[in-house]
Structures are given as structure tokens and as C-alpha cells.
Amino acid sequence: MSLPPEFALIARHFRPLAGPGALDLLDDAALLDPPPGRQLVLAADAMVEGVHFLPADPPETVGRKLLRVNLSDLAAMGAEPLGYLMTTSLPRGVADSWIAGFVAGLAEDQRIFGLSLLGGDTTATPGPACLSLTILGTVPPGQALRRAGARPGDAVWVSGTLGDGALGLRVLRGELPGDAEGHLARRYRLPEPRLALSRALRGLARAALDVSDGLVQDLGHLCRAAGCGAEIEAAAVPLSPPARALVEEDPARLLLALTGGDDYELLFAAPAGAEAEVARRAAAAGTPVMRIGRFVAGPPEVTVRGRDGAPLTLAREGWSHF
Amino acid sequence: MSLPPEFALIARHFRPLAGPGALDLLDDAALLDPPPGRQLVLAADAMVEGVHFLPADPPETVGRKLLRVNLSDLAAMGAEPLGYLMTTSLPRGVADSWIAGFVAGLAEDQRIFGLSLLGGDTTATPGPACLSLTILGTVPPGQALRRAGARPGDAVWVSGTLGDGALGLRVLRGELPGDAEGHLARRYRLPEPRLALSRALRGLARAALDVSDGLVQDLGHLCRAAGCGAEIEAAAVPLSPPARALVEEDPARLLLALTGGDDYELLFAAPAGAEAEVARRAAAAGTPVMRIGRFVAGPPEVTVRGRDGAPLTLAREGWSHF
């Protein structure tokens, strides 16, 4: 009695990803002894072909992006990765080589970030590939970074550079100059979860999240959670050299850095006066950070000021699926 | 600054499902203090519209089935429910009433089974609805039921009745007589996770799983895990009265009870001679059980014997997505 094709596929491709507790993916569920003295941190994000990744994206980066957008949720909480479960709904005719590439990408990032597959499910779909991942992490009790907690006067900080992902998507779609091997396309396909930085900010950052739907919209989440507003300087928003070149060519593209999403950078509040300490911890974590504005008393609104100090009017604040 | 539509949808529909640790679905992840002195049990199952449920199925039962197929994985391990994360990829034009019904079904089953939503993600898809759920449960350390452990001579037991789900699907498709409000269709739409029975079998059952892909195929999983074979009597396989009526009309339909899947009954091994104890515990759990065969020495093959004792030849052993 040989294995049905579905289980042969799981054994061939997914079992090598399985870690302790996964029971070789042979049981109905995984068994995990929770690490003593830690809180669990749990998040789940889905990616749909044609919505969150492009059909032509290499399967390796699709797997890595799926894991990384979830790792970025752990980063937003200051947590450390523990393991993950994954469900993949794939078109019935999916090439074996696509699955092999997808799994190879996951395997590489498992090594880099130190976690492994605990379990999941593989199904067919008549539609586009639909991938869902649930990530588990841990944090010392009471030390998770939260969205609520910013206070008027706190500085608004962001890691890395913004807009690369949104610009990279347009490069890959042929709407902007550039190629699929360039920095921007790579940033769209392979975000960098800011795990080291977020751990370093425990006890210092008053609030944090990861920018996934656009800087202005996500900063609005911090404002609503805090019951205050925020003002940022458009000119202070950090751009990569290729992004800066595109924005200098057409300043309207700056809006993509402010509202485009797919950044997976850490956005956080830190007390005024803590600039040197933030810089010191970020440098120790090897992650560039930039102060881009401040939280202000008032309604939960985000004001973006241009070079002349006047507020910019934004056509949209960020991404919404509905 | 009002909430973007996606977040308004989450606040309106999903936040009422959120339990302790979910942080009102306002953070990037949930925070959970693992219950002391317990092992965690983790499983994830996806459901795709047109594959695992029908477009015309009421959204209430779609939500409940999504939760119940995952609860059935906890039952397979003898675990108790703790919480769940869910990602929903929905067609952009999905009716608000569909989401409301889906959530109402989840809310009802949260009350019945004693668990709540911890987190997740809501995205759009250009394809059919794609739903993924990760469930967390707990079990006393070392007491989980596992797939491996059956020994030659052990009895093969199954809970409830088999074939109802597979027959119900054909009723709903109009391929068999019956209606959408009948027992079979209801069993397709609303499986019954055998949580009370599985807890009662801890320490007695030597191996267990839930029948999701077909009795013969899933019994094959127990055989492979144990390194032995199994023989079952087709006539002993428990059928509900409506299923029995359909099988008497056309005996070929018995194959659906043997290989059709969508049963979510507990299949388990118990030592020969433990019949009375199994029956006692099952009665206390309020769940009917039936002894349908035994494990035998030999290769991991499943033999199904007809009324004359001769092995039946099955065109297929169960469901495979690929």
C-alpha cells in the first residue's frame, strides 16, 4: 500500500522542514513543550498569488517572503521565533519544481532565523495559490512591544528605508524603470524582518509595529492606540539610493514611500531625549534607524509636512484589501 | 482619520470573537501565557470554496466546519481546545452578510467548544474563498494520543457512523436523493469533533487519528506508523439509517463509507480484551463506538472483507488532493 500522492508530496518536500515537536508531520498535530518562563507570541498572515506576490516571482522568494512577513509580526512585538505552521492551497497542476523551490527558500530562512516547521496542511485549489502561515515566538513576560503606549512628545522612529517594496512591485510590473535583479525588486520579494532591532528596543520603545500597509496608515494605528496625533517630515523619511533617484525624477513617487506598504520596517515611539540611546541600541543591532517626527496631543491624525512646513494632502493613506 | 475598510471589517466582524491574549486584534500578534504543566498541541487545516465546502453552503456552517475540522485534529491527539488563529482570503465583492454569518457560526462553536480567536489576517483574493485555521490545544505531558502504537492483535475501533459526509456531499450536488436539510447533508456541513471520547481514551487507546480522507486510507496511516497490517469487516462499519438506506438501494455506495472521507470520526486501536473498558468509557463520553476489525502482523496493508469473508477490491482508498 503506497502513499497517496498528497502524502508522498508532504513526505518528499515538507518533512525535511519539520523540527522538534512536529512528529515528522506524521501525526494529526504537533506537540510542543512551551519554553518555561516565557510568554507565547502568535501571529498569522496569508499571501495570495497575484495579490501579495507575483506569479513570476521565484518560488524561493515566495516561501521566504511568507515566512518573513510573519517574522516581521514577531519583530513588531519584540519576540524571538520559535516555530510555525503553514497551509498551502496550490493549483492542482503546480510543478514539482515550484514546490521544491518554495521549500528551499523556507529551509534557507529557517536556518537564518532559527525556527522550524511544526505542522500544517496541503490542499488543492481551483484558484491562485493561497498560502497561510501561523508563527509562534516567545518573549520574556511583560516585555512585548505593543501598539499602544506612545505619548505626545515622543519621537517617531523608523528602521531601514521606506518605499522600496512598493517601488519594487512597480518595477516588476514594468511600470517603473529597473530590473527584477535590482535592489527595489529584491526588497519587494524579500523583506527584512527587524528582529534584532526589536529585541534591542525592549524596555525603551513605548510602542511599535511593523509597516506593512503604508507608513501613514500604520502610524495612524499607533496614534489611535495612543489617543494622540503625529507629525512627520516627508523629507526625513529614509529612502534607499534607487528609491531616491526615482523620487527625484518624479516627486509624486514619494507618496509610495509614505503610503505604499510592503516595507516591513519597524515603526516605533521612543521618549524625547532618548535619541542617543536609540541610536546606540540600533547600531548594536546593526540596523539603521531614523527619527522622522513626533507624536502630538490631539485627535489620532497623521500630518505629513513638506519641505516648506505645509501639510501634504495624500490621496490615500495606505493599503486596504476591502 | 477613519479606519480603512479592511480594519473596519475586522473591528466589526472579527473583534467580537477575540478572547484573552488576542489584545482585541489591535496588535501585530497575540500574547499567551501557556497553561502551566501542559503540553501544547498545534494543528492547521485549510478549506477552499468548491473543494472543502460548496459555494451554496450557509456561511454559518462554513465557519463551524473550519473550526470543527481543526478541533477534530485536537480530538485525534486527545487534546483540549485553547484558542485559534485564522486567515481568511475572501473574494473582493464578498457580501457583508456572508462574513456576518461565517462569524456567527464561529461564535456559536466557540461557546460550545470553549475556545476563542487569538489573531489572524484578512485579505482579498481574485479566486475562491480560501480559509486557514491554526488551532492550539493542550494535553497533560506524555498523554497525547499518537498515530504510532497499534500492535498486531489490537482491535480497530471507530466512533459514530461513517460515510455520512461523503454521501451528504453527493446529496448536496444532486447526485443522490435527499435534501440540504437532511441528516447526510448536515453531517457534510457540520462534522462532530470527538473531543470527549478522545479525552476518555487517554491511557487506553494505543493509537488514534481522525478519519478525514477515508477510512481505508486513514487506517493505512495507522498501519504504516505501527509497521503492521489491519483487517476490517465491511459489514461492521457503522452506518447511519439514511446512509444504510442508500447503501441497501445500491451496495456500491458502501465504498463511500470506506473511502469517501469527510467523516471526522475517531479511528483508534485498543488492546484485545479491553472491549468492555472501551465501551464503558465511550458511553461515559456519550459517543457510540464500534469494533470493526483488528490489526494483524504483516506489511502495512488494509484488507476489507465482505460478508463472505473474501477481500473486497477498492477502486481507491481515499482522498488525495494531488
Which CATH number characterizes residue B103's domain?
Answer: 3.30.1330.10
How many whole angstroms separate alpha carbon A322 and alpha carbon A244? 30
A159 and A292, same domain (yes or no): yes
Identify whether B180 is part of a domain.
yes
From residue A21, give the alpha-carbon distance in Å to each of A29, B80, B205: 9, 17, 21
Say how many domains are in chain A.
Answer: 2
Nearest to B28 among A40, A76, A122 (CB): A76
CATH number of the domain within which A273 lies = 3.90.650.10
A131 and A182, same domain (yes or no): no
Q: In whole angstroms, what separates CA A193 from the centre of its chain? A: 6
B81 and B214, same domain (yes or no): no
Q: pLDDT tens digits, residue range B10-46?
A: 888 999 999 888 988 889 999 999 999 999 999 999 9
Tens of pLDDT, residue by residue, chain B (322 residues): 455 677 888 888 999 999 888 988 889 999 999 999 999 999 999 999 999 999 999 999 999 999 999 999 999 999 999 999 999 999 988 999 999 999 999 999 999 999 999 999 999 999 999 999 999 999 999 999 999 999 999 999 999 999 999 999 999 999 999 888 999 999 999 999 999 999 999 999 999 999 999 999 999 999 999 999 999 999 999 999 999 999 999 999 999 999 999 999 999 999 999 999 999 999 999 999 999 999 999 999 999 999 899 998 887 777 665 6
Angle (CA) B298-B300-B303 rounded to 5° is 85
Identify whether A145 is part of a domain.
no
Residue B319: list chain A partners with CB under 8 A: 4
Whether A170 contacts chain B with CB within 8 A: no
Identify whether A14 is part of a domain.
yes
Whether B123 contacts chain A with CB within 8 A: yes
A126 and A198, same domain (yes or no): no
B127 and B166, same domain (yes or no): no
B66 and B181, same domain (yes or no): no
Residue at which a domain ends, from A104, A139, A174: A139
Continuous segment of H or E residues that includes residue A149: none
Residue A42: list chain B partners with CB under 8 A: 21, 29-30, 32, 85, 118-119, 136
A167 and A289, same domain (yes or no): yes
Nearest to A31 among B92, B144, B225 (CB): B144
Tell me the pLDDT band of A11, cut-offs 50, 70 and 90: confident
Residue B29: list chain A partners with CB under 8 A: 41-43, 73-74, 76-77, 79, 135, 137
The pLDDT score that the predictor gives to residue A322 is: 60
Identify whether A319 is part of a domain.
no
Identify whether A230 is part of a domain.
yes
Identify whether B311 is part of a domain.
no
B164 and B300, same domain (yes or no): yes
Q: Which domain holds residue B132?
A: 5-139
Outline where DSSP puts E strands in A56-214.
80-91, 116-125, 130-139, 155-159, 207-211
Identify whether A317 is part of a domain.
no
The C-alpha cell at B56 is 451554496
Residue at which a domain ends, from B139, B164, B188: B139
Known binding residue A157? Answer is no
Nearest to A50 among B6, B126, B320 (CB): B126
Whether A9 contacts chain B with CB within 8 A: yes
Identify whether A255 is part of a domain.
yes
